[in-house]
Amino acid sequence: MSKPTLATVWLDGCSGCHMSFLDMDERLLALAEQAELVYSPLVDRKDFPESVDITLVEGAVSNVEDLAKIKKVRAHTRVLVSLGDCAVTSNIPGMRNPFGVQAVLERAYVDTVAVVNPPPSLVIPPLLDRVRPVHEVVPVDVYLPGCPPSADVIFKALEDLIAGRTPGGNVQQFGA
């Protein structure tokens, strides 16, 4: 029986959720025996694989690249996990929503003592009119709230998912 595959994805987040993933420390070795990490900011692979069993998503959906990425990830993932408050609620990135895109760009690139002026249009992907939690854009199977969720919570959730369990009951068996 082949090992289930695991991916992690980074949208609009601070990387704190990935830091919490790394905080599993020696349990990462146990995890590596149970699942194969096939795509992540932590591994050198550029394209999302054709089929992944479990994908953890950090961050909210803030720009057109995030949107295209999460749609592709969803299409190629069996169990999609919203990892952390930015993915679950839009959290910190969503704080720009009441102001509108133009005001935010002007504040960042025109009003401040900054740097690049006018706002860059080539390097930064266009912002969506509103930052969205992941489930507003694609269906989500499991939510792990927290800012960030603790390493203990992530490990327990992955153990359950790899074993085909969720807190609500059975899901599917991988590699069967």
Tell me how far, at minimum, the Cβ of 44 lies from ligand SF4, in Å.
22
Tell me how far, at minimum, the Cβ of 17 lies from ligand SF4, in Å.
4
Nearer to ligand SF4, 4 or 84 (CB): 84
SS3 of the chain: helix, strand, coil, percent, to 5:
35, 25, 40
| Nearest CA among 142, 150, 138 for reference residue 61 | 138
Nearer to ligand SF4, 55 or 91 (CB): 91
Q: Which residues contact 150 (CB under 8 A, 6 or more apart)?
A: 20, 23
* Residue nearest ligand SF4 by beta-carbon distance: 16
Residues found near ligand SF4 in the complex (CB under 6 A) = 13-14, 16-17, 58-59, 84-86, 91-92, 147-148
Tell me how far, at minimum, the Cβ of 8 lies from ligand SF4, in Å.
12
Integer Cα distance of 10 and 173 in angstroms: 26
147 close to 80: Cβ distance less than 8 angstroms? no
Nearer to ligand SF4, 53 or 85 (CB): 85
